[in-house]
Amino acid sequence: MSDTSVLLVTKGHPFDRGEFFSMFDQLGVNWTHVEQPAARVFMTPELADPYDVLVFYDMPGLSFEAGGPVFETPSEEYKSGLISLLASGKGMVFMHHAIAGWPAWEEYAEIIGGRFLYIPGELRGKLHQDSGYRHSVEHELTVLQDHPITAHLPTSFPMTDELYLCEVFEDSITPLLTSDYQFNQDNFYSAAKVVQEGKMYSNEDWQHPASSNLVGWLKHYSNSPIVYLQGGDDPVAYHSVEYQQLLKNAINWAGSQEALDWAMTQ
């Protein structure tokens, strides 16, 4: 078992709990699970100190009501605690739907390196269309560079998983993985039509520009190393040897002294 100590944060989006936690058991990391909103209290340097890395498989700051999502603004205490945690150099890995978290706090998108929008919204001073989703996509991933996160992976490998047509801040991330899927509006469904109209698989009258095909990246925020992996929705992906290796690599790297040293020199 790895010595990497992980705080695994979930809640806010349905997932196959048995398959998901079984995958984490197979990763060989020392993980502790906490759900939102209880996880918020750990977002300080003091309470997160026992953990080498935080892994987010959550979607805080929004709930789904009749007529559309309701956004919560994080408290100043929470924001101050998280920013202090990032300044302390805590490694973080964000998985799949975590990119939709805290939609009322734009800086959270800067921490991750992008955002999934359930309804149209403003990012970086520009209005963006709601994002798109597509379940159970069979696609091929290509490794873009040699890095500890991509170690022991083939140069390309197949996955079956949900993909997003969403905003990616390519100017502030280091790309690691691309998908050969075509990221355009014809291949995705509108998130807003689901949450506002109850139309689960519709892109009727929905216009969205083609988006980045990056599905894995690293970056830093303040002194913290950050990794985002778009995969992680489908139990088929949980059983993928390559995906398990990728996730294990990301967790071990983000929690390492090497990653901390890298982030602090950026």
42-83 pLDDT, tens digit per residue, is: 999 999 999 999 999 999 999 999 889 999 999 999 999 999
Ranges of each domain in the chain? 5-264
Instruction: Supply the pLDDT for residue 67.
Output: 85
- The CATH H-level superfamily of 5-264 is Class I glutamine amidotransferase (GATase) domain (3.40.50.880)
Percentage of the chain with pLDDT > 90? 98
For residue 264, what are the contacts with CB-CB under 8 A and spacing of at least 6?
A: 89, 223
CA distance 64 to 82: 24
The sign of the CA dihedral 11, 13, 19, 24 is negative
Is the distance from CB of 231 to CB of 93 less than 8 angstroms?
Answer: no
pLDDT tens string 168-210: 999 999 999 999 999 999 999 999 999 999 999 999 999 999 9
Strand-pair partners of 184: none
pLDDT of residue 3: 86
User: Is the entire prediction scored with pTM above 0.85?
Assistant: yes
In angstroms, how far is the first alpha carbon of the chain from the final one? Answer: 31
The whole-angstrom separation of Cα 31 and Cα 27 is 10
